[in-house]
Amino acid sequence: MALSDISRVEIEKAIEECNRIGRAAFLKAYGFRPARRYLLVHEGKQYDSKAIVGAAHGFLPGERPLTPSTPGFSGGAEHAARFLKRLGFDVVAEEPAQDGPDHDELIRRITRMKANRSASHRALYKPIALLWAMGRAHRGEPRLLAWTETEAALQLLLRRHGLRGERLRPDYPIASLHREGVWELRDFTDPVTTAHGDAKVKRWFDTNQPRGGLAEPVYDLFRRSIVTRLAVIDELVDTFFEGLDPTPLLSEVGLVGIDPAEPRTGSGRTPERWLLTAAEYERGCAFVEEREAQTHGRRSTGTTSRPIRSRTARYLVLSRSRGRCENPDCTGQPADVTDDDHPILEVDHVLDLTRGGRDHPSQMVALCPNCHAVKTRGRTREALREILLRVAQERHAAGGGGAVGPGVAR
Ligand SMILES: [Zn+2]
């Protein structure tokens, strides 16, 4: 290992690679975990300092990338951070996490729910409970409910949407979500049971009648962030609904039509609803990339024949478009809107997914039906594809902002 041989040139090559393949894929490729504390800041973007240094080492002639277990390099992120500072880079120490799970931690906890699914029986009770509660948060309904109300609502949903043979037992998933820190339970006398013993769990809920609901930080995230909602829906649908149509459930809990735009606040089209902060855009993309990495792995095992499309990616593209066709040469999209008051736009994957294109905003555009038809069937489609790919990349690089399409004021 020759850390001191690394110069700014190799660091910048590693940064460039990270930008090109995305953070999740980059970390995976080099075997690093996301930085907990020290972040390299370069041209306004943040990077995992230790992973960047490890990757940079591989750009030295005849050298290999350093891994977290390379002797002498395993000694902590602080070392990498100091080294980057010496080369003149900006390194910031991230704030310690607040009291509740943030977006990433929440997604991680929900992803871990996979482990609870046995091969023979894909229980839907947990995703059903979570989606029901998410629908309530989305509508701003009270976070905590009496146990009788929670139980009645979930029993109804389980009867309609649970798998055949699945028990109508809301206590079990709620106890499990509570253990994972996602669900808060209040006003009980006995300590909460953590036993897997079946009858015990039900008895505990019957006796204690806890008020409960989503943990406050989770509720707040669901309430205020459409990206979080879509990311969690993507994750749950992906994990639990393979081969099943989640639409009837999503529709019953009020989570259909939450994309492409925020709920209507009044009549008419309000430009505010297209506002998406760069941070939110970036967060959404990070999730899309993480999921992309998993999906690719899964597809290669042959269990999934059809690419799974991300609701989050679609939403990010529609928001980015601010309701306007993203073809710079568009001659005009329909002035009409749909019954839901949405502009008539279609999200297109510029490079065909079946031929290696990515389900990622950097390769997707929002098009009006005319431009979409030209892009699919027109003689000029190859030239248009080049233009659209550039538009997608530029707007993506601008963090969802950037140039606005034709016909848009400002
Ligand atoms: Zn158009």
Distance from residue 332's CA to the centre of ligand 1 (Å): 6
Q: Are residues 154 and 200 in the same domain?
A: yes
Distance in Å, CA 285 to ligand 1 centroid: 24
Ligand 1 centre to CA of 319 (Å) is: 16
Residue appearing with tokens 């009291």: 99
76 & 110 share domain = no
Centre of ligand 1 to C-alpha 323, Å, is 11
User: Does residue 115 lie in a domain region?
Assistant: yes
231 located within any domain: no
| Residues 142 and 37 placed together within one structural domain of the fold | no
Q: Check whether residue 63 and residue 116 sit in a common domain.
A: no
- Cβ neighbour number for residue 5 with a 10 Å cutoff: 12
Residue 62 domain-assigned (yes or no):
yes
Q: What is the pLDDT of residue 339?
A: 80
- Note the residue count of the chain: 410
- Tell me, in angstroms, the distance from the centre of ligand 1 to residue 369's CA: 7
Whether residue 111 is found in the same domain as residue 23: no
Question: Which of 219, 56, 190 is closest to 132 using CA atoms?
Answer: 219
Which of 170, 199, 222 is the last residue in one of the domains?
222
| Same domain as 107, residue 88 | no
Amino acid at 197: G
What number is the average pLDDT over the span 74-80? 70
How confident is the model at residue 133, as a pLDDT? 96
Tell me the DSSP string of 302-334.
Answer: TS--SPPPPHHHHHHHHHHHTTS---TT-----
Asked if residue 227 is part of any domain, the answer here is no
Of 109-113, 178-182, 272-276, 355-359, minimum mean pLDDT range: 272-276
- pLDDT by residue (tens digit) across 198-207? 778 888 899 8
Same domain, 112 and 54: no
Q: Which residue has the tokens 């949407």?
A: 161
Query: What's the CA-to-centroid distance between 325 and ligand 1, angstroms?
Result: 5
Q: How far, in Å, from the CA of 318 to the mean position of ligand 1?
A: 13
How many of the other CB atoms lie within 10 Å of CB of 44?
7
- Together in a domain, 61 and 124: no
Secondary structure element (H or E) that encloses residue 257, with its range: none
pLDDT for residue 308 is more than 80? no
CA-based nearest residue to 374, from 328, 320, 310: 328
Tell me the residue range of the domain where 35 lies: 3-93
Q: Which residues pair with 183 in a beta bridge?
A: 214
Ligand 1 centroid to 273 CA: how many Å?
21
36, pLDDT greater than 80: no
CB-CB neighbours of 62 under 10 Å: 4
58 and 123 part of one domain: no
Give the model's pLDDT for residue 221.
84
Q: Is this prediction's pTM over 0.75?
A: no
Peptide bond preceding 334: is omega within 30 degrees of 0, i.e. cis?
no
**Among 107-111, 223-227, 315-319, 320-324, whose mean pLDDT is lowest?**
107-111
Domain shared by 7 and 75, yes or no: yes
- Residue 1 reports pLDDT greater than 70: no
Residue 76: per-residue pLDDT? 63
pLDDT > 70: what percent of the chain? 80
Long-range contacts made by residues 391-398, C-beta under 8 angstroms, separation at least 24? Answer: 391/326, 391/327, 391/328, 391/365, 392/326, 392/350, 392/361, 392/362, 392/363, 392/364, 392/365, 393/362, 393/363, 395/320, 395/326, 396/285, 396/320, 396/361, 396/362, 397/362
User: Is there a domain that residue 402 lies in?
Assistant: no
pLDDT-based confidence at residue 268 (cuts at 50, 70, 90): very low
What single letter denotes the amino acid at residue 375?
K
Residue 221 has a CB neighbour count (10 Å cut-off) of 25
Residue 211 lies in a domain: yes
Residue 257, domain member (yes or no)? no
Q: Tell which of 187, 222, 257 closes a domain.
A: 222
The alpha carbon of 271 and the centre of ligand 1 are apart by a number of angstroms equal to: 19
Q: Separation of 262 CA from ligand 1 center, angstroms?
A: 23
**Separation between Cα atoms, residue 384 and residue 329, nearest integer Å:** 9
Return all residues near 340 (Cβ < 8 A) that are at least 6 apart. 257
The position carrying tokens 């073809």 is: 327
> Are 9 and 83 part of one and the same domain?
yes
Ligand 1: centre distance to CA 362 (Å): 18
Looking at the structure, tell me whether residues 372 and 333 fall in a common domain. yes
Whether 380 is covered by a domain: the verdict is yes
Residue that is last in its domain, among 164, 197, 222: 222
350 Cβ contact partners less than 8 Å away, ≥ 6 residues apart? 357, 363, 364, 365, 385, 388, 389, 392
Helices and strands (H and E) in the chain: how many: 16, 7
Q: Is 259 a residue whose pLDDT tops 50?
A: yes
Distance 48 CA to ligand 1 centre (A): 39
When the pLDDT of each residue in the chain is averaged and rounded to a whole number, the result is 81
Can you spell out the DSSP letters for 50-64?
Answer: HHHHHHHHTTSTT--
CA 408 – ligand 1 centroid, Å? 13
pLDDT per position as a tens digit, 21-35: 888 889 888 988 877
Whole-number Å distance, alpha carbon 371 to ligand 1 midpoint, is 4
- Based on the structure, what is the number of domains in the chain? 3
